[in-house]
Copies of this chain bind each other. A is one copy, B any other.
């Protein structure tokens, strides 16, 4: 298996299966001298954790990260940051009922076909639990990128959509909502939809929106590794993500050139010239 790394200068490599001893990662390329806030890292891990509220899966993954290298006296040293998240309940439950069958909508069949080898203990490497490693690396990246503000929230659940304007989203309200939609009324509708669907043993999809501010002009490489191409790749590598759009997105496809034109904003532009 290849493709377990992401990034060039700040590069994360991940390892681990949902039912192995531990998941872990190595961050190569984090500069020296970044002060780490371990409380925040754990808070981010808790935000990812299943079982946080009544509207999500009740599976419990009580995660804490152990750093093994790259940190001295609370600061990064510039050397690779190795870390693990121990799987507290690594004992496979009784998996004998799926040992001889593939689960639909899962990677079981494809892994078996690709590697000629089956680890039948749950999702293994294809489990979305792998993202726990990305959360640790992402929260360190945020500590490094002080001036870049990244805020994501749920903007759709099923047919219920929060119709926001970028400049008017109240990011402080995101965490107030168990579904993480900053608009109170929409959030309540989303929660009640999820509850009613959950009652029938079903689930429902949604859309996450992310607003990034403070990005330096010219970030990303201009041809293949455009900023949005790399962002798209990152998002599409998360389990169950089926689409990615940025800027005007698919809506832009029905706009005229005259409407879509990206004219200079004189007041912002002045800052750069």
A residues whose Cβ falls under 8 Å from a Cβ of B: 1-6, 8-9, 11, 13-17, 20-24, 26, 28-29, 31-33, 66-70, 72, 75-82, 84, 102, 104-105, 107, 109-111, 113-117, 119, 121, 124-126, 130, 156, 158-159, 197, 202-207, 217-218, 220-226, 228-230, 232-234, 236-237, 242-250, 252-258, 260-264, 272
Contacts and interface: CB of A to CB of B under 8 A. Distances in A.
A214 to B, nearest CB: 15
A244 B236 contact: yes
Total copies of this chain within the assembly? 4
A105 B5 CA distance: 33
Contacts of A125: 69, 77, 79-80, 222-223
Contact of A75 (B14, B109, B117): B117
A108 to B, nearest CB: 11
Given A14-B223, A33-B116, A264-B104, A124 B203 contact: no
